[in-house]
Amino acid sequence: MRHLNTALALTLALAGTCPAAGAAGAADALEGSGAPAAAGAPPGAAVPAGAAALAGKSAASGADALEGGPATDEPAVRCEGKGPCIEVGTQLPLRVLPRPLSNLYKERAENPAGVAQANVKAFHPLYVYAREGVDVSDPANPKGWYQVGASSAGPQGWMRAADVLEWRQALLVSYTHPGGVQDGRKPVLMFRDLPSLKRVVGAGDRAGQAEALYQKVAAKDAPEDLVSMEPQRFVDITRNFYILPIVRFDTVTLDGDDARYLQLAAAVPGARGADTLKNAQYAEQAATARDAAQGVDLQDLKLNVVFVMDTTRSTQPYIDSTRSAVSAMVKRLDNPEIQGRVRFGLVGYRDAQAKVPNIEYTARNFTPSLVDAAALAKLLDSEVKATTVGSLDYAEEMFAGIDQALRSAWEPGALRFVVLVGDASSHPKGHPQNTTSKDEKDLRLEADDAQVHVLAIHLRDERAAEDHGVAEQQFAHLSRIRGGTESALVPVDAFRQEDFQKAVESVTGTLLDRLARAVAAKPGEELLAQPAAAAAAAGAPAAPAAQAAAAPQAAGAAQGAASESGARTEQLWEAALVEYVGKAAEPPKDVIAWALDRDLVNPADRSLEVRVLVTRQQLSSLVQALDHVVQAFMRAEVTQMQFFDALQAVSGQTLKRPEDIGRSAKLIESGLLPAFIQSLPYKSDVLSLDDERYASMTAEQRSALEWNLLGKLQQYRTINEQVDAWVRLAEGDPDSEKVYPLHLDYMP
């Protein structure tokens, strides 16, 4: 019953919004109107349109989860004159993106005297209200007219079919976190046409040719076939919104892995002007160093650190050691450069209180408002105590602690860090004592979107060696360093309290040192440059992080823990600072180009990730549908009904044709899920569910699937509550039509 109440409460929280606006965007070439055919294709062969034909081999996350075949037939569109045209298959409003230097006309005539608006914003979505004589059978010479409007309030005029492109998927891509200055990935290069990109990718010295292009860009001598480039600095789509819809694609195998060529249109709502490498101002800002203090007011820089601690009965010594480390840190905060810039939080976690009532709490936030170091030390001394009550098993509710910490009262604009301390794994999804319906993967996605960086200290008790593998896998995933493959995981012998205290002192000391150095930096200075002398003066490791992490083994366990935690903290700080200075970077706009979704120099690094643009109403509809699926799981389990019979029973009153559920072969064919979900080409165990597969599942598998959906529902609630994260695509759009770039991994 708790599951049902949770889902129902979330449904009500998301309800009450207006009809979906639909997602929008697409484009063709910066100059000319034809899309180049794939290299090696027969004459006249078109590159598959839209993301619907992206193919993936496995049920992996991100772009590799996309599937589908080439789009051969134009989807049906219904225009009834009562509102925007609707795509029949998806029931979504049809939108188009204007090409650069296009006009909006009062009537269906290319008459200079009849121009209602000249130079319409390029690649900014417009609703379609009518299609007259549209013929796109010749992509290089489309014919006809579209009646368009900036919002769903009504049409504003007509545009030639040659001046716009339809966008029939809600899919777009975003730039991934680029990683560090020295070992991070290269920026995305954006080519005028596909053959130009393929020449570089297919070259025997691909990395060398790519490096040569970056050197030309730095020298302001970019070749003609290179249209634009992602900025060196990180542009976070959840903080600095942009749209990169997929127009066309092609595939390639690089080092045994599938990669994709993507033709992308670039737009930024509310802004205009083609950001090409021929534009000196854009080229200069795009080439600005990843860590340069240019255009960012470092006097506003703040630091927030939240400790998430296991407070079961085995951890009192570590609570005491943390208090000692924090107390020692208070003296360092007398530095006038950083005084008042640092705030702390504290979350304690234990086990599921419903299963162990005397344990007092599952997870508790001791700092509803963040506090200074002195107040944190006092909390650790007077209020935070390990329980004397034992748990049911060795695992604890660490996921509940992280979940609480991610929803801390973070200061706006502050660099955000979580220090996780625990000796046991957390209960996985599907376990009766898992209270969040989430696991390390779900929480990692939420941490990335919230720009929270996690360092994990695993207290290894040799008596529980059988738990170490699971615990370290969970801790490592949660503490993955953004933009890289390493994790900020520091193992400490649970019987060496001194090692732990040194590790905590190293973490806090490193963060304070880096904060002081950043605040003292001059405009334009590279914030992460660290000469050996400066590093020594600051008390930080002078060696690169990887060397510092590996060196201490011979220097004693305590010093080893301190050095390793300091090195990992350095890496986290670098990732966080790259995000911070990226606030001053501007993503490219009003261009269309081809790009590879991998780093051209090191294809193992993904440079672009797939997202789904959803409105509030679409998210609400998805919640209601998943709520019915969860209820059907529970009813089928209790009554031994077939799954689709149970689904029909719980959903009948909400559907016009509930009998369609009983005739469906798979859940996606039931008509229960919102139309936009049915249009998305991605793989999903939930969407492919049928009676036969449900009947073959074990009770444990059914429970895991149910908990997975409950985890999604909780994530949707978190996203819905982030008011500032929702973006208005077009001027005049009501709040109900604001959109959010949802990770593909968030889909059910």
Weakly modelled stretches of the chain, pLDDT under 70 = 1-75, 89-90, 139-140, 168-169, 388, 390-392, 529-559, 652-665, 678-679, 681-683, 730-732
- Give 193-249 pLDDT, tens digit per residue: 999 999 999 999 999 999 999 999 999 999 999 999 999 999 999 889 998 988 778
- How far, in Å, CA of 297 to CA of 664, rounded? 58
- Give 278-305 pLDDT, tens digit per residue: 999 999 999 999 998 888 888 889 999 9
What does CATH list as the number for 298-582?
3.40.50.410
The torsion defined by the Cα of 371, 374, 378 and 384, in degrees rounded to 10, comes to: 50
Task: Encode 389-405: b = buried (16+ Cβ within 10 Å), e = exposed.
Answer: eebeebbbbbbbbbbbb
pLDDT at 279: 92
- Give 365-379 pLDDT, tens digit per residue: 999 999 999 999 899
pLDDT at 536: 39
Neighbours of 448 (CB within 10 A): 18
- How far, in Å, CA of 274 to CA of 282, rounded? 9
Domain locations along the chain: 2-20+614-726, 27-72+177-288+585-606, 76-167, 298-582
Where does 267-414 show beta strands of DSSP type E?
A: 303-310, 342-349, 363-365
Q: Are 222 and 259 in contact (CB under 8 A)?
A: no
Q: What is the pTM of this model?
A: 0.81
pLDDT at 12: 36
pLDDT at 586: 92
Q: What share of the chain is helix, strand, coil (3-state, %, to 5)?
A: 35, 20, 45
Q: Are 740 and 174 in contact (CB under 8 A)?
A: no
Neighbours of 529 (CB within 10 A): 13
